[in-house]
Amino acid sequence: MVIPAVDIKNGKCVQLVQGKPGTEQVILEDPVKIACQWEDKGARMIHVIDLGGALGETNNLEIVREIRDSVSVPIQMGGGIRTKDDALNLLEMDINRIILGTIAMENPEVVPELSNSFGKKKIVVALDSKDSQVVVRGWTEKTDKTAPEMGKFFENMGAGGILFTNVDYEGLMKGFSIKPLEELLSAVKIPVIYSGGVSTLEDVNKLSKTRAAGVVIGSALYKGNIIFEQALKYQ
Protein backbone atom coordinates (compact mmCIF):
# COMPACT_ATOMS: atom_id res chain seq x y z
CA MET A 1 0.00 0.00 0.00
CA VAL A 2 1.27 3.47 -0.92
CA ILE A 3 0.41 5.82 1.95
CA PRO A 4 0.80 9.62 1.65
CA ALA A 5 2.09 11.47 4.71
CA VAL A 6 0.41 14.50 6.22
CA ASP A 7 2.80 15.82 8.89
CA ILE A 8 1.38 18.69 10.94
CA LYS A 9 3.34 21.42 12.73
CA ASN A 10 1.98 24.78 13.86
CA GLY A 11 -1.29 23.98 12.12
CA LYS A 12 0.37 23.48 8.72
CA CYS A 13 1.37 20.50 6.59
CA VAL A 14 5.18 20.35 6.56
CA GLN A 15 8.05 18.10 5.54
CA LEU A 16 11.23 18.19 7.63
CA VAL A 17 14.71 16.82 6.86
CA GLN A 18 15.41 13.93 9.27
CA GLY A 19 12.76 15.28 11.64
CA LYS A 20 14.81 18.34 12.63
CA PRO A 21 12.88 21.55 13.45
CA GLY A 22 13.84 24.44 11.20
CA THR A 23 14.49 22.22 8.16
CA GLU A 24 11.01 22.61 6.68
CA GLN A 25 11.21 21.91 2.94
CA VAL A 26 7.49 22.00 2.31
CA ILE A 27 4.95 24.20 4.12
CA LEU A 28 1.31 24.02 3.05
CA GLU A 29 -1.50 25.88 4.74
CA ASP A 30 -4.38 23.41 5.02
CA PRO A 31 -3.63 19.84 6.20
CA VAL A 32 -7.32 18.88 6.09
CA LYS A 33 -7.66 19.90 2.46
CA ILE A 34 -4.44 18.08 1.59
CA ALA A 35 -5.63 14.85 3.26
CA CYS A 36 -8.86 15.07 1.24
CA GLN A 37 -6.87 15.58 -1.95
CA TRP A 38 -4.87 12.41 -1.30
CA GLU A 39 -8.08 10.47 -0.81
CA ASP A 40 -9.43 11.90 -4.07
CA LYS A 41 -6.26 10.74 -5.86
CA GLY A 42 -6.83 7.16 -4.69
CA ALA A 43 -5.14 6.84 -1.29
CA ARG A 44 -6.45 3.87 0.68
CA MET A 45 -4.99 5.22 3.93
CA ILE A 46 -3.62 8.55 5.21
CA HIS A 47 -0.54 8.71 7.44
CA VAL A 48 -0.94 11.63 9.88
CA ILE A 49 1.85 12.72 12.23
CA ASP A 50 1.43 15.43 14.84
CA LEU A 51 4.98 16.77 14.59
CA GLY A 52 4.19 19.51 17.08
CA GLY A 53 3.19 16.88 19.64
CA ALA A 54 6.21 14.71 18.82
CA LEU A 55 8.61 17.62 19.33
CA GLY A 56 6.98 18.73 22.58
CA GLU A 57 5.45 21.84 21.02
CA THR A 58 1.75 22.69 20.68
CA ASN A 59 -0.24 19.65 19.61
CA ASN A 60 -2.45 19.67 16.53
CA LEU A 61 -5.18 17.27 17.67
CA GLU A 62 -8.05 19.48 16.54
CA ILE A 63 -6.71 19.34 13.00
CA VAL A 64 -6.29 15.57 13.30
CA ARG A 65 -9.95 15.38 14.38
CA GLU A 66 -10.96 17.48 11.37
CA ILE A 67 -9.06 15.15 9.04
CA ARG A 68 -10.75 12.14 10.65
CA ASP A 69 -14.15 13.78 10.06
CA SER A 70 -13.33 14.79 6.48
CA VAL A 71 -11.97 11.60 4.90
CA SER A 72 -13.56 8.18 4.58
CA VAL A 73 -10.36 6.14 4.29
CA PRO A 74 -8.53 4.84 7.39
CA ILE A 75 -6.02 7.02 9.22
CA GLN A 76 -2.89 5.86 10.97
CA MET A 77 -1.71 8.53 13.36
CA GLY A 78 1.31 9.12 15.57
CA GLY A 79 3.30 11.88 17.19
CA GLY A 80 3.07 13.09 20.77
CA ILE A 81 1.45 9.95 22.19
CA ARG A 82 3.28 10.12 25.52
CA THR A 83 0.72 8.47 27.85
CA LYS A 84 -1.88 5.74 27.78
CA ASP A 85 -4.54 8.45 28.07
CA ASP A 86 -3.17 10.10 24.90
CA ALA A 87 -3.56 6.77 23.11
CA LEU A 88 -7.06 6.20 24.48
CA ASN A 89 -8.08 9.69 23.39
CA LEU A 90 -7.08 8.94 19.79
CA LEU A 91 -8.70 5.51 19.72
CA GLU A 92 -11.91 7.01 21.08
CA MET A 93 -11.61 9.64 18.31
CA ASP A 94 -11.98 6.71 15.86
CA ILE A 95 -8.41 6.88 14.62
CA ASN A 96 -8.04 3.53 12.84
CA ARG A 97 -4.45 2.83 13.84
CA ILE A 98 -2.30 4.58 16.39
CA ILE A 99 1.49 4.59 16.15
CA LEU A 100 3.28 4.19 19.47
CA GLY A 101 6.87 5.37 19.54
CA THR A 102 8.58 6.64 22.69
CA ILE A 103 5.80 5.40 24.98
CA ALA A 104 6.20 1.82 23.69
CA MET A 105 9.95 1.90 24.28
CA GLU A 106 9.65 3.39 27.77
CA ASN A 107 6.44 1.67 28.89
CA PRO A 108 6.15 -1.56 26.82
CA GLU A 109 3.23 -2.97 28.78
CA VAL A 110 0.98 -0.32 27.23
CA VAL A 111 1.16 -2.33 23.99
CA PRO A 112 -0.63 -5.46 25.24
CA GLU A 113 -3.01 -3.35 27.32
CA LEU A 114 -4.22 -1.41 24.26
CA SER A 115 -3.99 -4.41 21.95
CA ASN A 116 -6.17 -6.53 24.21
CA SER A 117 -8.73 -3.73 24.62
CA PHE A 118 -8.98 -2.45 21.05
CA GLY A 119 -7.56 -5.23 18.87
CA LYS A 120 -4.07 -5.78 17.46
CA LYS A 121 -4.81 -4.15 14.12
CA LYS A 122 -5.20 -0.76 15.79
CA ILE A 123 -1.81 -0.82 17.50
CA VAL A 124 1.35 -0.11 15.50
CA VAL A 125 4.76 0.37 17.09
CA ALA A 126 7.17 2.84 15.50
CA LEU A 127 10.72 1.64 15.23
CA ASP A 128 12.85 4.55 14.08
CA SER A 129 16.41 3.55 13.28
CA LYS A 130 19.48 5.78 13.09
CA ASP A 131 22.96 4.29 12.69
CA SER A 132 21.30 0.89 13.22
CA GLN A 133 19.98 1.89 16.66
CA VAL A 134 16.38 2.64 17.60
CA VAL A 135 15.85 6.33 18.43
CA VAL A 136 13.06 7.96 20.47
CA ARG A 137 11.63 11.36 21.42
CA GLY A 138 11.25 12.72 17.92
CA TRP A 139 14.48 10.97 16.84
CA THR A 140 16.53 12.99 19.34
CA GLU A 141 17.64 10.19 21.70
CA LYS A 142 19.38 6.91 20.83
CA THR A 143 18.73 3.62 22.60
CA ASP A 144 21.01 0.57 22.66
CA LYS A 145 18.46 -1.57 20.79
CA THR A 146 18.24 -2.59 17.13
CA ALA A 147 15.04 -2.64 15.08
CA PRO A 148 15.00 -6.45 14.53
CA GLU A 149 15.32 -7.23 18.24
CA MET A 150 12.69 -4.65 19.20
CA GLY A 151 10.42 -5.76 16.35
CA LYS A 152 10.42 -9.31 17.67
CA PHE A 153 9.89 -8.07 21.22
CA PHE A 154 6.83 -5.96 20.31
CA GLU A 155 5.39 -8.68 18.10
CA ASN A 156 5.42 -10.94 21.15
CA MET A 157 3.89 -8.11 23.23
CA GLY A 158 0.86 -7.90 20.94
CA ALA A 159 1.64 -5.18 18.39
CA GLY A 160 -0.36 -5.58 15.19
CA GLY A 161 2.25 -3.96 12.96
CA ILE A 162 5.47 -1.96 12.80
CA LEU A 163 6.20 1.37 11.18
CA PHE A 164 9.91 1.26 10.36
CA THR A 165 11.55 4.59 9.59
CA ASN A 166 15.13 4.67 8.41
CA VAL A 167 16.07 8.08 9.82
CA ASP A 168 19.46 7.99 8.08
CA TYR A 169 17.62 8.61 4.80
CA GLU A 170 14.45 10.40 5.95
CA GLY A 171 13.74 13.60 4.01
CA LEU A 172 17.07 13.56 2.14
CA MET A 173 15.50 12.51 -1.19
CA LYS A 174 18.50 10.30 -2.00
CA GLY A 175 17.01 6.82 -1.87
CA PHE A 176 17.72 4.35 0.91
CA SER A 177 19.42 1.10 1.84
CA ILE A 178 17.05 -1.87 1.75
CA LYS A 179 19.20 -4.02 4.06
CA PRO A 180 17.90 -2.68 7.44
CA LEU A 181 14.31 -3.27 6.27
CA GLU A 182 15.10 -6.81 5.12
CA GLU A 183 16.74 -7.57 8.47
CA LEU A 184 13.58 -6.42 10.27
CA LEU A 185 11.28 -8.34 7.90
CA SER A 186 13.29 -11.50 8.57
CA ALA A 187 12.80 -11.06 12.32
CA VAL A 188 8.99 -10.59 12.44
CA LYS A 189 5.81 -11.97 10.95
CA ILE A 190 3.51 -8.98 11.58
CA PRO A 191 3.07 -6.34 8.83
CA VAL A 192 5.86 -3.79 8.44
CA ILE A 193 5.31 -0.40 6.78
CA TYR A 194 8.47 1.33 5.56
CA SER A 195 9.31 5.04 5.62
CA GLY A 196 12.44 7.05 4.87
CA GLY A 197 14.22 8.22 1.75
CA VAL A 198 11.74 6.95 -0.84
CA SER A 199 12.28 9.43 -3.67
CA THR A 200 11.62 7.70 -7.01
CA LEU A 201 9.22 5.23 -8.55
CA GLU A 202 12.14 2.80 -8.70
CA ASP A 203 12.34 3.00 -4.89
CA VAL A 204 8.65 2.10 -4.68
CA ASN A 205 9.22 -0.77 -7.11
CA LYS A 206 12.15 -2.00 -4.99
CA LEU A 207 9.95 -2.04 -1.89
CA SER A 208 7.14 -3.82 -3.73
CA LYS A 209 9.49 -6.77 -4.20
CA THR A 210 9.94 -7.17 -0.43
CA ARG A 211 7.48 -8.45 2.15
CA ALA A 212 6.78 -4.89 3.35
CA ALA A 213 3.05 -4.24 3.74
CA GLY A 214 3.27 -0.63 2.64
CA VAL A 215 5.31 2.52 2.28
CA VAL A 216 4.77 6.01 3.65
CA ILE A 217 5.90 8.75 1.26
CA GLY A 218 6.17 12.43 2.12
CA SER A 219 8.68 14.83 0.54
CA ALA A 220 8.90 13.00 -2.79
CA LEU A 221 5.14 13.40 -3.33
CA TYR A 222 5.03 17.04 -2.30
CA LYS A 223 8.01 17.94 -4.47
CA GLY A 224 6.66 16.07 -7.49
CA ASN A 225 9.52 13.54 -7.67
CA ILE A 226 6.92 10.78 -7.41
CA ILE A 227 3.49 11.12 -9.01
CA PHE A 228 1.09 9.46 -6.61
CA GLU A 229 -1.16 7.95 -9.27
CA GLN A 230 1.89 6.31 -10.90
CA ALA A 231 3.05 4.88 -7.57
CA LEU A 232 -0.34 3.23 -7.06
CA LYS A 233 0.41 0.66 -9.77
CA TYR A 234 2.80 -1.03 -7.33
CA GLN A 235 0.04 -1.66 -4.76
Nearest CA among 32, 98, 99, 96 for reference residue 64? 32
Type of residue at 149: E
Nearest CA among 214, 223, 226, 233 for reference residue 47? 214
Which among 40, 128, 131, 203 is annotated as catalytic?
128
7 is catalytic: yes
Which among 7, 69, 94, 144 is annotated as catalytic?
7
Cβ-contact 59, 53 below 8 angstroms = yes
- Helix ranges (H only) for the chain are 31-40, 51-54, 61-70, 84-92, 102-106, 110-118, 147-157, 179-187, 201-208, 219-222, 228-231
Nearest CA among 196, 201, 202 for reference residue 217? 196
**Max Cα distance, the chain (Å):** 42
Strand, helix or coil for residue 98: strand
85 is catalytic: no
Q: How distant, in Å, are the alpha carbons of 13, 172, 183, 207 from that of 119?
A: 30, 35, 27, 27
Catalytic residues: 7, 128
